[in-house]
Structure 1
């Protein structure tokens, strides 16, 4: 289930990134960041289940930073 979620989040992230690059329209960048953070969170959970706590905490920390950036951009601060 986690692999499917990671794959889904990655595909959505890549879709938003390609759209932004090809159309020169970056209004969906916060959504791209949101889904990228979701993919990082899922990867962190997978690493935690493999008892790789160091890389899991780095991934979750990166996820939190990406979520913060995404919400900051969406709220216009």
Structure 2
């Protein structure tokens, strides 16, 4: 289940990134960051289940920072 969710978040993130690069329209960048944060969170959960707690905590910290950045941009 987590692999599917991670794959889905990654595909959505790549789609938003490609759209922004090809059209020079970066209005969807906050959504891209939001989905990238979701992918990082899922990866952190997977690493926590594999008993790699240092890497898991780093991924969750990156996720929190990415979510904060995304919400900060969205609320402007």
TM class, shorter-length? over 0.9
Q: Distance in 2 between matches of 1:71 and 1:46?
A: 24
Gapped runs of 5+ residues in structure 2? none
| Aligned 1:1-77 pairs, distance under 5 A | 1-76=1-76
TM-score by length of 1: 0.98
Q: Provide, for residues 16-66 of structure 1, a one-character-per-residue CA deviation record: whole Å limited to 9, x for no partner.
A: 000000000000000000000000000000000000000000000000000
Q: Distance in 1 between matches of 2:20 and 2:9?
A: 17
**Structure 1 runs of 4+ with >4 Å offset:** none
Gapped runs of 5+ residues in structure 1? none
Please tell me the root mean square deviation across aligned C-alpha atoms, in Å.
0.2
TM-score by length of 2: 1.00
